[in-house]
Structure 1
């Protein structure tokens, strides 16, 4: 009897099923240093204890996406080890900061299933919670994944497709306790642009670009313990190429967005997201953002800004996102819709 784990296939999921993911992960300052070595991340709250303390926190928390990647990585062996593609995200909220020394674990509940018409695969929707060492939920989100079937002849389940809101309501955004931007130091943050300086519909080309390296991508997947075969095993795809981990593209685009959005300090919600096209080593990633909405918060000196972050293989915002048939242009890598906190 084999003791190895081939991962779950589409037939192995059932509505309401709860999966407790292995292995808990303690994150520390070394994790932050590696994150900042992988990405040109410069947002001040995540870079400086003194800056974070001046903004009312106890110190500098871990980067918001560092926490997300850690929790996401826990889910891969159970949710997407046999995935064809990670299709999208919705209803993501950061509920508590992740601090150096926190231990993170993850749990997922199956909330949707639908077999594809080809009978070879199906889509699985899960709601994932990331919890810290005392059981507090630090973030939760929904994602859906196309997963291979073990046996194409196995019967299709009754389809259940969850009804997911397009946007996290601004009233449901959680501002970290104590956060206060009334004394915000714009010089140290790197830009003078504040919440009131951005207009809905404004598009910001972030100008800078980074060429993706195979070695950095592999370090990232190992760091977040993401074991998806398409990222590690070049023989797993017919073209013999390893897909760049989607979280690597997200973090690279977010870091590039510093140029023009240096004061969009903390991500607090993930409204939607799509990995529009595959990314491979050697691709040069650029990014642009569009301001989709703005909302006040009850926290002192803090507004929420809703941004669409687009990562591309070279094309700028003038090219748009989709072709005349509604498909993403082949140059589009990532289309991410999120809320961030910014000084008024």
Structure 2
């Protein structure tokens, strides 16, 4: 048998290192398609001239292009038979990705826990994205619920990794040369500096995007994400294709431009949950909460810790959970991340 049905829960071993196929060279085409799929317009990823004025050699590719590309490499080995992608932690962008870079990925299994129904289990992996120079450009932990091939297969020893609540400000990596001391707020689109944001402040990003089946399918193919629930309408009992969680992340991040236009570069992913399934036809809105602030050693550069929430609602009311502690049904994404902004 030459075809590969993908891994099931019982196929994973604690400590196993998985080298993922296939390396991919990314370029200006990915940027153009990304900006066609999402209303993304942060200046440092849009303009070589703006990026040079901020101390970079040219505009790096959008941070989430790097994330989606690396994530997509892992799907055939980690989540081809997934029920759901459950969460993220300890994510760090360590180097910009430039047009012409070649990315590959590897993952280490760091946790296993079979579910009580005996039909599936949760797998924790730490994934690293590497460029052609063998430099790590991105690292993150995610955990995913994966089906079992054989419900009678013995359960592995339960190992749940201890993960940091968030990436400490001292562990944030500012891209080499980044300098916001001569930052052009007019070209960036808003006047708000790092100092204008207050911890606890909430921002309704106002705008909305309705998810189309065709755009989601294009995005999923672009990132070479082969998870069955995204492609195959027969993979779910309800006959609906599940919208890739990264698609929702990018839509929400792009919508956040209105109010956070100067949150230029993502440098860490502290935590994340795809709270409820998303389907074509859903209209997505977003709001953010400022969780923390930190200074950096780079000229004119500060860091903001933000909560980004995507909702399926007419207008965000800043509510996350019900009285039972569970996410409200219209909450699709709850993402905690660090960005760099001009001081």
Same structural fold, with TM-score higher than 0.5 when normalized by the shorter chain: yes
Checking the alignment, whether the CA contact within 8 Å between 1:310 and 1:333 is kept in structure 2 is yes
SS at match of 1:142: strand
Per the TM alignment, residue 314 of structure 1 is displaced from its structure 2 partner at its CA by 1.3
Match of 1:23 in 2: 22
Match of 1:11 in 2: 10
User: Could you report, residue by residue, the CA deviation over 1:203-227 in whole angstroms, capped at 9, with x for unpaired residues?
Assistant: 0000000000000000000000000
Checking the alignment, whether the CA contact within 8 Å between 1:313 and 1:333 is kept in structure 2 is yes
Per the TM alignment, residue 73 of structure 1 is displaced from its structure 2 partner at its CA by 0.1
Match of 2:113 in 1: 114
CA distance in 2, matches of 1:162, 1:308: 23
Match of 1:91 in 2: 90
Structure 1: 5+ residue stretches without partners: none
Deviation >6 Å, runs of 4+: none
Kindly report which structure 2 residues correspond to 1:58-73, keeping only aligned pairs within 5 A, or say none: 58-73=57-72
Match of 2:264 in 1: 265
Checking the alignment, whether the CA contact within 8 Å between 1:310 and 1:335 is kept in structure 2 is yes
SS at match of 2:21: strand
Match of 2:273 in 1: 274
Once superposed, what is the RMSD of the aligned Cα atoms?
0.6
Match of 1:163 in 2: 162
Kindly report which structure 2 residues correspond to 1:114-153, keeping only aligned pairs within 5 A, or say none: 114-153=113-152
Match of 1:188 in 2: 187
Match of 1:227 in 2: 226
Per the TM alignment, residue 156 of structure 1 is displaced from its structure 2 partner at its CA by 0.6
Per the TM alignment, residue 316 of structure 1 is displaced from its structure 2 partner at its CA by 4.0
Match of 1:175 in 2: 174
Match of 1:297 in 2: 296
Per the TM alignment, residue 107 of structure 1 is displaced from its structure 2 partner at its CA by 0.2
Match of 2:317 in 1: 318
Checking the alignment, whether the CA contact within 8 Å between 1:203 and 1:317 is kept in structure 2 is no
User: Could you report, residue by residue, the CA deviation over 1:263-316 in whole angstroms, capped at 9, with x for unpaired residues?
Assistant: 000000000000000110000000000000000001100000000000000154
User: Could you report, residue by residue, the CA deviation over 1:111-150 in whole angstroms, capped at 9, with x for unpaired residues?
Assistant: 0000011101000000000000110000000000000011
SS at match of 1:193: coil
CA distance in 2, matches of 1:240, 1:329: 24
CA distance in 1, matches of 2:324, 2:213: 33
Q: Does 1:206 align with 2:205?
A: yes
Checking the alignment, whether the CA contact within 8 Å between 1:297 and 1:303 is kept in structure 2 is yes
Per the TM alignment, residue 319 of structure 1 is displaced from its structure 2 partner at its CA by 4.9
Checking the alignment, whether the CA contact within 8 Å between 2:128 and 2:140 is kept in structure 1 is yes
SS at match of 1:73: helix
Structure 2: 5+ residue stretches without partners: none
Per the TM alignment, residue 318 of structure 1 is displaced from its structure 2 partner at its CA by 2.4
CA distance in 1, matches of 2:107, 2:318: 38
CA distance in 2, matches of 1:202, 1:194: 14
SS at match of 1:264: coil
SS at match of 1:250: helix
CA distance in 2, matches of 1:236, 1:73: 19
CA distance in 1, matches of 2:316, 2:35: 27
Checking the alignment, whether the CA contact within 8 Å between 1:14 and 1:110 is kept in structure 2 is yes
Checking the alignment, whether the CA contact within 8 Å between 2:72 and 2:225 is kept in structure 1 is yes
User: Could you report, residue by residue, the CA deviation over 1:50-72 in whole angstroms, capped at 9, with x for unpaired residues?
Assistant: 00000000000000000000000
Checking the alignment, whether the CA contact within 8 Å between 2:294 and 2:302 is kept in structure 1 is yes
SS at match of 1:230: helix
Q: Does 1:35 align with 2:34?
A: yes
Checking the alignment, whether the CA contact within 8 Å between 2:287 and 2:318 is kept in structure 1 is no
Per the TM alignment, residue 35 of structure 1 is displaced from its structure 2 partner at its CA by 0.3
**Higher mean C-alpha displacement, 308-317 vs 248-257:** 308-317
- TM value normalised by structure 2: 0.99
CA distance in 1, matches of 2:273, 2:229: 17
CA distance in 1, matches of 2:243, 2:9: 23
CA distance in 1, matches of 2:314, 2:117: 34
SS at match of 1:11: helix
CA distance in 2, matches of 1:294, 1:319: 20
Q: In the comparison of the two structures, how many residue pairs are matched?
A: 343
